[in-house]
Amino acid sequence: MPAKSQAQQKAAGAALSAKKGDTKVRDLKGASKSMYDSMSKPELEEMAHTSRGGKPQHKHASRSHH
């Protein structure tokens, strides 16, 4: 599953780094910690390696305009 935002991509990269043993798991926080706990290494690789072109900085909840 590709990343929806640059922030999500960075969090996946941090989680992947911990899965590989390059960084310490205790240094993860927030989204990267949750991704580390809930996603497999291949899933994290796919999300972290998504092209950044056209991605927003953060994913915003869609708002309904009535």
pLDDT digit string, tens, across residues 5-14: 889 999 999 9
**pLDDT, tens digit, for every residue of 24-58?**
999 999 999 999 999 999 999 999 987 766 666 66
Tokens read off for 66: 């009535």
**Distance, CA of 10 to CA of 16 (rounded, Å):** 10
- Residue 27 within any structural domain of the chain: yes
User: Residue 10 is part of which domain span?
Assistant: 6-48
Question: Per-residue pLDDT for 64 more than 60?
Answer: no
For tokens 């935002």, name the residue: 5
- Determine contact, residues 58/7, Cβ cutoff 8 Å: yes
**Distance, CA of 44 to CA of 31 (rounded, Å):** 12
What is the count of structural domains for the chain?
Answer: 1
* pTM for the predicted model, two decimal places: 0.76
- Residue 59 within any structural domain of the chain: no
